[in-house]
């Protein structure tokens, strides 16, 4: 899964310090190729470095001892990951992460043959650092609370996606030999489904259960609708097996048992993540700005806090946020004078997903958001295009609230629409 960068671009607000040396590291799973030189010499040193905390510490400590108290610039082919975490604890280092795609395109421009070599890549990274540093962004991490929240919300989404994948596998397998379960229960990943399949993994077994046993089971798992329970019991009694092939049934039971256990484990992981996210949000200084947003709730509000963070200098304008997050489209001009607009492909996908999903949730909670969405649909936009347009508009509002440190107020914004004579206000008033 593509994810949001922990340290987003920062605006240049201070003169760059004088670096004593420049270091470039080409990331490798086991070894890193490195190239380095001091600021007062063009002579380059090259070598390889084992990917272990001990090896990295010995290597960087020895080099920093040459420049006591002075800063060293480091360029590395990694936007986030183990190597950045290892190096970020050294106060003398100023990190400049480079996306692998950036290095790949830079290499392709100089070596059209497509050849690749780690030492050459390290040299190219050093060239980027020394000659094109004005195009690179320094790694400036946010507060511990914000970075923890960023990691937690992304990891939670990863667990949810994995739970969905396992639930889809369970659904597919049940269709082979026990499809009735899918009609008896709404959510296949619900705990009651796992408990049901653990106790009665086949239709034959559940049909041997007494009605009072089934009623007691449903009550124990917080299903107390008498009419729904009776309907299930009646359907169980009259159900016909999808197959009587012992090979299919016996192998499916083993597979379903494994899937149910995995889903239960993932459910527990998501619940633990939710608890930890709630604790971090309770003490986060930015939480009041986002907690009461329309459609935010306990899931989306932390993701919005993580998206903005605490660094007010991070974006100079709403347009920068819209472009960086991938919500703003891309305009392309050809040599023939033609222009076309397309979906932005290169961006932090999780960040874009955050704004897109929250904008979708806001439609049911905000009168103007609902009116704007309906207006976009009436103009011919498909659902997701209309939601992106709404997210684009929301970002301008949230950016101003974030910059001013002032929580969003629906009535204040609607009143502003009225004063401007916005067509949206007419739609709201009519509705």
- The CATH code belonging to domain 19-141 is 3.30.420
pLDDT band at 3 (very low <50, low <70, confident <90, very high): very low
Q: How many CA atoms lie within 13 A of 280 on its CB side?
A: 25
Phi-psi region of 181 (alpha: psi -120 to 50; beta: other; left: phi over 0): alpha
- Is the pLDDT at 268 greater than 90? The verdict is yes
pLDDT digit string (tens) for 413-427? Answer: 999 999 988 888 888
Q: Looking at residue 6, what is its pLDDT?
A: 42
Q: Looking at residue 14, what is its pLDDT?
A: 58
Integer CA distances (angstroms), 31 to 6, 25, 47, 83, 107, in order = 24, 10, 10, 11, 20
pLDDT digit string (tens) for 37-49? Answer: 999 999 999 999 9
pLDDT digit string (tens) for 131-150? Answer: 999 999 899 889 999 999 99
- Determine the Cα angle at 21 with ends 17 and 26, to 5°: 110
Do 252 and 178 touch, CB atoms closer than 8 A? yes
Cα separation, 295 vs 293, whole angstroms: 6
Do 310 and 286 touch, CB atoms closer than 8 A? yes
What angle in degrees, to the nearest 10, is found between the helix axes of 297-308 and 144-177?
140
Do 298 and 278 touch, CB atoms closer than 8 A? yes
- Is the pLDDT at 87 greater than 80? The verdict is yes
Cα separation, 275 vs 47, whole angstroms: 45
pLDDT digit string (tens) for 51-86? Answer: 899 999 999 999 999 999 999 999 998 877 788 888
pLDDT band at 9 (very low <50, low <70, confident <90, very high): very low
Q: Looking at residue 314, what is its pLDDT?
A: 87
Tell me the pTM: 0.85
Tokens of 263: 């889903």
Cα separation, 262 vs 93, whole angstroms: 42
For all residues of the chain together, what is the average pLDDT?
91
Do 189 and 167 touch, CB atoms closer than 8 A? yes
Cα separation, 386 vs 359, whole angstroms: 10
pLDDT digit string (tens) for 151-175? Answer: 999 999 999 999 999 999 999 999 9
Q: CB under 8 Å to 357, separation ≥6 — which residues?
A: 300
- Span of 130-139, 246-255, 267-276, 385-394 with lowest mean pLDDT: 130-139
Count of all residues that appear for the chain in the document: 431
Sign of CA dihedral 69, 73, 74, 79: positive
Tokens of 236: 């169980």
pLDDT digit string (tens) for 98-130? Answer: 988 889 999 999 888 887 788 899 999 999 999
pLDDT digit string (tens) for 308-358? Answer: 999 999 899 999 999 999 999 887 776 666 777 777 888 889 999 999 999
Q: Looking at residue 5, what is its pLDDT?
A: 40
- Is the pLDDT at 365 greater than 80? The verdict is yes
Sign of CA dihedral 127, 129, 134, 137: positive
Torsion angles phi and psi, residue 327, rounded to 5: -75, -40
Q: Looking at residue 429, what is its pLDDT?
A: 79
More confident residue, 23 or 1: 23
Structural domain boundaries in the chain = 19-141, 148-279, 288-332+339-430
More confident residue, 236 or 86: 236
Do 257 and 198 touch, CB atoms closer than 8 A? yes
* CATH topology assigned to domain 148-279: Helix Hairpins (1.10.287)
Q: Looking at residue 27, what is its pLDDT?
A: 84
Exposed, middle or buried: residue 255 (CB in 10 Å: 0-12, 13-18, 19+)?
middle
């Amino acid at each position: 899964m593509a994810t949001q960068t922990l340290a987003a671009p920062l605006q240049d607000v201070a003169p760059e310090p004088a670096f004593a040396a420049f270091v470039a590291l080409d990331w490798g799973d086991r070894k890193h190729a490195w190239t380095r030189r001091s600021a007062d010499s063009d002579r380059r040193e090259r070598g390889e470095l084992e990917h272990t905390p001990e090896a990295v510490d010995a290597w960087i400590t020895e080099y920093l001892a040459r420049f006591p108290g002075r800063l060293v610039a480091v360029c590395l082919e990694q936007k986030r990951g183990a190597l950045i975490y290892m190096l970020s604890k050294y106060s003398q280092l100023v990190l400049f992460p480079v996306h692998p795609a950036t290095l790949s395109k830079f290499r392709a421009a100089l070596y059209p043959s497509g050849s690749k070599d780690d030492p050459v890549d390290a040299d190219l990274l050093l060239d980027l650092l020394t000659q094109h540093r004005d195009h690179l962004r320094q790694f400036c991490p946010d507060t511990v609370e914000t970075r923890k929240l960023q990691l937690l919300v992304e990891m939670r989404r990863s667990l949810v996606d994995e739970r969905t994948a396992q639930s889809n596998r369970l659904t597919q397998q049940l269709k082979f030999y026990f499809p009735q379960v899918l009609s008896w229960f709404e959510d296949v990943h619900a705990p009651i489904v796992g408990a049901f399949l653990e106790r009665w993994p086949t239709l034959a077994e559940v049909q041997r259960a007494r009605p009072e046993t089934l009623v007691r089971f449903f009550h124990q798992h917080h299903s107390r609708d008498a009419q729904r329970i009776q309907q299930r019991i009646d359907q169980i009694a009259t159900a016909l097996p999808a197959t009587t092939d012992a090979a299919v049934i016996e192998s499916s039971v083993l597979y379903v048992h494994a899937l149910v256990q995995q889903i239960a484990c993932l459910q527990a992981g998501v619940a633990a993540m939710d608890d930890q996210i709630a604790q971090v949000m309770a003490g986060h200084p930015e939480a009041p700005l986002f907690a009461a947003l329309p459609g935010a709730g306990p899931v989306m509000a932390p993701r919005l806090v993580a998206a903005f963070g605490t660094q007010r200098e991070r974006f100079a304008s709403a347009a920068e946020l819209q472009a960086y997050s991938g919500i703003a489209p891309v305009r392309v001009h050809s040599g023939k004078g033609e222009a076309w607009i397309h979906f932005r492909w290169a961006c932090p996908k999780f960040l874009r997903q955050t704004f897109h999903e929250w904008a979708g949730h806001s439609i049911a909670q905000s009168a103007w958001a609902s009116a704007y969405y309906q207006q976009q649909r009436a103009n011919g936009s498909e659902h997701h295009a209309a939601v992106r347009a709404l997210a684009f508009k929301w970002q301008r509002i949230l950016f101003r609230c974030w910059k001013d440190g002032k929580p969003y107020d629906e009535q204040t914004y609607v009143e502003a629409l009225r004063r401007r004579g916005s067509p949206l206000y007419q739609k709201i008033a009519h509705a």
